[in-house]
Amino acid sequence: MTKLKLTRIAKRPTYTIGKLYIDGKYFCDTCEDTVRDLSKVDKVPGQTAIPAGTYKVIVNVSPKFKRLLPRLLNVPHFDGILMHRGNTAADSSGCILVGENKQVGKVLKSTYYEERLVDMLKNDNNITIEIV
């Protein structure tokens, strides 16, 4: 069983930066869309981060990207939420981008972190992510 935890540390008007931990150990930084309270405002398609909570994660082939990627299941108001490479919230559509936050509002070296993450998770059938 693998426990992922994403702690959102910088909620900005156009993006969100976080830290991703695997089994309590820091793994990388993340970039997401803007966090919105969906109980008070409408979701802005392609520009809204998923709600905080705990979700089951599977690793399967993404029909869009044609490669193995971690997929979050049963996310309220969202479908097809993945963890993948990308640099800014514009690359996200609600997904969680992995990398190093060395520049304001973006993550770098995302291909490296995506490949490492998939390699670590691909043989585990019991993965969860807690987003706080």
Please state the domain extents for the chain: 2-131
pLDDT at position 39 is 87
3 state DSSP class of 6 = strand
pLDDT category, 52, cuts 50, 70, 90? very high
Is the domain covering 2-131 a CATH 1.20.1300 domain?
A: no
Q: What is the pTM of this model?
A: 0.96
DSSP of 34-76: B---TTTS---TTSBPPPSEEEEEEEEE-TTT-SEEEEE-S-T
**Residue among 3, 4, 6, 2 nearest 101 (CA):** 6
Mean of pLDDT values over 104-129: 97
Give backbone dihedrals phi and psi of 110, rounded to 5 degrees, phi first.
-70, -30
pLDDT digits (tens, 9 = 90+) for 106-117: 999 999 999 999
131: β partners: 6, 53
